[in-house]
Chain A
Amino acid sequence: MQAGGAMIKKKTSCIKYTKWGYIFLIPFFLVYTVFSLIPLISTFYNSFFENYMSGLTQVGPNFVGLANYNGLFENTNLLKFTQNTLIMWLMGFIPQICVSLLLAAWFTNIRLKIRGKQFFKVIIYMPNLIMAAAFSMLFFAIFSDIGPINDLLMRLGILDEPFRFLSSVGGTRGLVALMNFLMWFGNTTILLMAGMMGIDVSLFEAAEVDGAKAFEIFRMITMPLLRPIFIYVLITSLIGGIQMFDVPQILTNGSGSPNNSSMTLIMYLNKHLYSKNYGMAGALSVILFICTAVLSLLIYFKFTKKEN
């Protein structure tokens, strides 16, 4: 990597200073072990035990092998909540990726000379930093039956009577998706822009000389070269989607109403944690861990393979 002289210098200093590399890593690994690794192992361990409160009596902990997992899979709830989570994620992600691709393509196209680019970037990224709990509470207030949005829609003549967003499945899921969309499309736009700006401009110029249309250029040049970032965005968003909690939890007050249609996997986990059903909570955590681990490994190999 470096010239010969520097190599030798580095080597001699290495022997003397190597121990400092280890010393500086101590805080990270100490804290990681105490606050993440041990809890993770203990969560796995708990998943093999029957351990819950039945009324006021504590049941367990008794070793039950995979009974908690069987219990989870036998119950239709897990499937239903997985579906809910994925549906709400998709309802937010599809418009998010479309809008972000479009915006990123516009912002990076010098010929369009878009005004106030920096301003738009600042505005669209802003919702990402907003407290999800407060954002959700805000939506709960403004989309309530007599709230300002219903009032606005009626005054504009779009609605004749208030639409009860939180009593309808589509309304509730739609609001969750809308909030997720608003919170993440700015972030995605910025990531995609970074990817697009990395593409060699001469490729576009060559295509233009060959008479390619804007959409053709986008499909044949931008998209293939953007693939790694696109996959990265897709998978990290999915991992984020699996963790969906604050927004639906506050919006529905933890009930996942109407009729459990907006109950997500983490809300389900939270329920088990509060009712102190540690066996079930453990098994659910392990399942979620495996899902995210598989997705993360996909990214990891995708990117390390590219480098080699």
Chain B
Amino acid sequence: MMEKERSGVAGLKIKRALIHIVLILLTIICLLPFYILLINSTRNHVDIQKGFSILPGKAFLKNFQNLMSNPNLPVLRGIFNSFIVASGSAVLTTYFSSLTAYAIHAYDFKGKKTIFTFILMIMMVPTQVSALGFVDLMRDMNLTNNFIPLIAPSIAAPVVFFFMKQYMESALPIEIVEAGRIDGAHEFRAFNTIVLPIMKPAIAVQAIFAFTSSWNNYFIPSLILDKKDMKTLPILIAQLRSADFLKFDMGQVYMMIAISIFPVMIVYFLVSKSIVQGVALGSVKG
């Protein structure tokens, strides 16, 4: 082995160099669109029309102000709406998925296996295929232009449930729960005071996934929300796209995209390590 390694050292060096070049190229491809976005959000319309630039302009604040005071795009309201829907979903989905996973993990009852299998089976059913019935039902229940149909369904999230269940298997020994029982803790209280704190790392990762997927969601919200004041960011983006593009101030267009993308990106970079680990751990994602 040793000899072989020594004889292959030169080859390995070239290979390593090539691999690093490929990796750097991929990094550039991944980041270039966002770099252009960042730069162009700081330039005014006339500059942007001149073409590509490596250096930023000076119109960042002006673009921001113009966009905020644009009467056709209630962006501030959109950010607020998106934030309410996304954080509501994140809180509900992590709490109730933990609760559901706990029911399967900690208790033995008749039909448990069937229920578990059932949840796994429905995991892959796309929301789009029931969208027709969903929109119809929400209309009957008078819930269009309401955030409830966008937040409440996250209580039943098979993917998050599965992740929580996996996590409990590795991090929540049943003895801990039993010790709590001996101390006389009520089952529901035991879940809130003993189980949830142990689940914190998993909850944090899933909260971020749930927040971003709700923040990014376009299909269902666009069918539920049509009032100007209720629209979320993706719907406003679609509205921007359908507006006559050439009449638009490109500075505002880039600023609008930047506002939708960069907050999530910043949060991601801050907690990226646990996210990347979470992807591998759950091994089931949309």
Contacts and interface: CB of A to CB of B under 8 A. Distances in A.
Counting chain B residues whose Cβ lies within 8 A of the other chain, the interface size class is 35 or more
Interface string B215-227: 1101100010000
Given A35-B156, A122-B276, A134 B257 contact: yes
Contact of A285 (B109, B128, B256, B265): B128
A48 interface: no
A30 B116 CA distance: 16
A250 B254 CA distance: 15
A133 interface: yes
Interface in B95-152: 96, 99-100, 102-104, 106-109, 112, 115, 119-137, 149, 152
A133 B216 contact: yes
Contacts of A42: 132-133, 136-137
Given A24-B99, A25-B103, A134 B237 contact: yes
B261 A118 contact: no
Contact of A269 (B19, B31, B34, B128): B128
Contact of B264 (A129, A155, A289): A129
Interface string B172-211: 0010001001000001100100000000000000000000
Interface in A36-91: 36, 38-43, 45-46
B56 interface: no
A137 B240 contact: yes
A266 B125 contact: no
B234 A27 contact: no
Nearest to B131: A273
Interface in A112-155: 112-116, 118, 120-127, 129-135, 137-142, 144, 146, 148-149, 151-152, 155
Interface stretch (B20-28, B58-66, B69-77): B20-28
A281 to B, nearest CB: 5
A181 B102 CA distance: 36
Contacts of A232: 283
B285 A187 contact: yes
A138 B33 contact: yes
A99 interface: yes
Interface string A11-25: 001100110111111
A39 B130 contact: yes
Contact of A296 (B121, B178, B187): B121
Contact of B129 (A43, A190, A245): A43
B19 A13 contact: no
Interface in A143-190: 144, 146, 148-149, 151-152, 155, 182, 186-187, 190
Given A28-B100, A42-B133, A293-B125, A134 B234 contact: yes
- Give the secondary structure class of B's interface: helix
Given A20-B107, A134-B260, A250-B241, A39 B136 contact: yes
A140 B233 CA distance: 17
Contacts of A194: 280, 283
- Give the secondary structure class of A's interface: helix
B130 A133 contact: no
A46 B133 contact: yes
B170 interface: no
A257 interface: no
B37 interface: yes
A125 B279 contact: yes
Interface string B268-286: 1100110110011001111
A245 B219 contact: yes
A147 B53 CA distance: 11
Q: Give the interface centre of A25, A46, A140, A205 by most chain B CB atoms within 10 Å.
A: A25
A105 to B, nearest CB: 10
Given A42-B136, A137-B237, A293-B125, 10 more contacts: A25-B104, A35-B153, A39-B137, A120-B27, A125-B272, A148-B52, A242-B126, A245-B218, A249-B238, A250-B237
Interface of A: 9-10, 13-14, 17-18, 20-25, 27-29, 31-32, 34-36, 38-43, 45-46, 99, 102-103, 106, 111-116, 118, 120-127, 129-135, 137-142, 144, 146, 148-149, 151-152, 155, 182, 186-187, 190-191, 193-194, 205, 208-209, 229, 232, 236, 239-240, 242-243, 245-246, 249-250, 253-254, 266, 269-270, 273, 278, 281-282, 285-286, 288-289, 292-293, 295-296, 299-300
30 contacts: A10-B174, A18-B109, A20-B188, A22-B109, A24-B100, A28-B96, A34-B137, A35-B149, A36-B153, A38-B133, A39-B132, A40-B125, A42-B132, A106-B23, A112-B16, A113-B16, A114-B19, A122-B276, A130-B216, A132-B216, A133-B260, A134-B237, A134-B260, A140-B241, A254-B242, A266-B128, A273-B132, A285-B130, A292-B125, A295-B124
